[in-house]
Amino acid sequence: MICTRCNKLSSNRDTCSTCGTQLKTLSSQTLRGWFALGAGAFLAIFMAAIWIAIDRAFAAQGIAARNVAAAQFLGRINVAFALIVVVGVLGVINGWSMARSGRRNLWLLVALLVVFVSALVIAGIASSSYRGP
């Protein structure tokens, strides 16, 4: 049995002796890790595909070459997509780590959250500053 809050391994109990949280089985935590790995891979691949499609659409129409505001928007949105792909890669790393050990890595989760929030902020700035052609 493992505590999902403090990552402490324990046996012969239903609750953690440190924090009092309900303990989970190690196999359920490794299954959770495999799901996290799959979700991270899906996010990274799906966002990369959307990123490529948007860049091709802008390039095919030549909007970014003609309009400075569109070029700035495209630059910001590219950064946001890159950060979301990084979030997916961090999710894959976290899922792999969790699937192998059954324990979550708090530093990876914090990094994932910080990168995701910064991607949302950059995407918000990009969409609020673009007024269209």
Can you give the pTM of this predicted structure? Answer: 0.80
Distances (CA, A) of 8 to 20, 37, 94: 11, 22, 18
Q: What is the pLDDT of residue 133?
A: 55
| Total domains in the fold of the chain | 1
Residue 9 belongs to a domain: no
Q: What is the pLDDT of residue 132?
A: 59
Q: What is the pLDDT of residue 16?
A: 73
Task: Quick: pLDDT tens for 52-61.
Answer: 998 898 888 8
Residue 16 belongs to a domain: no
Task: Quick: pLDDT tens for 12-34.
Answer: 677 776 776 777 777 788 898 99
Residue 81 belongs to a domain: yes
Residue 15 belongs to a domain: no
Residue 50 belongs to a domain: yes
Residue 116 belongs to a domain: yes
Distance between CA atoms of 20 and 27, rounded to whole angstroms?
20
Could you list the residue range(s) of the whole structural domain that residue 70 is in?
27-129
Distance between CA atoms of 58 and 17, rounded to whole angstroms?
57
Residue 6 belongs to a domain: no
Angle subtended at Cα 25 by Cα 19 and Cα 28, rounded to the nearest 5 degrees:
120
Structure tokens at 11: 């046996």
Q: What is the pLDDT of residue 95?
A: 94
Across residues 49-54, what is the average pLDDT? 93
Give 6-49 as a DSSP string.
T--B--S-SB-TTT-PBEE-HHHHHHHHHHHHHHHHHHHHHHHH
Residue 120 belongs to a domain: yes
Amino acid (1-letter code) at residue 129: S
Task: Quick: pLDDT tens for 78-130.
Answer: 999 999 999 999 999 999 998 988 777 889 999 999 999 999 999 999 888 76
**63 pLDDT higher than 80:** no
